[in-house]
Amino acid sequence: SDTSTFSDPEKFADTTALSHSANDIATYQVGIGVGTLVGMVLMQWGVRVMSESISRQLRGLCFRAMLRQEMGWFDARSTGLLSSRLATEVPLISAFTGESFAQVLQIIVCAITGIGIALLRSWIMTLVIIGAL
């Protein structure tokens, strides 16, 4: 869309052009919103699948490591301690690969996308803003 319609005072009287430009910009924004929604749903799904896969693999590795121990190792530890370690330590690790990882990934992707769009629109102004940060 030609955004000069909004910045050129001579075109303010042409309400049809203003309306057409506003509709085009609104359509682009809706498209970006739908694309963002689809991307976020796919990202959340992917992160949850990854987190569950890591949890399953870690539980298997911990269990196999316990099975490789000598008999004396089991005598020094109670059954409840061993099962509680499997139940509590793996979810702690998966907490870091789940929602918090998804939030960090979302922030990074949004920042890179925003800077890219800003560079395409006005690279000089974008560099000034980045320099001010």
What's the whole-model pTM score?
Answer: 0.62
| DSSP state at residue 11 | G
70-110 tens-digit pLDDT: 888 888 877 787 778 777 777 777 777 777 788 888 899 88
14-61 tens-digit pLDDT: 778 778 888 888 999 999 999 989 988 998 898 888 888 888 888 888
pLDDT for the residue numbered 28? 92
* Cα separation values, 59 from 69, 80, 126, Å: 16, 16, 47
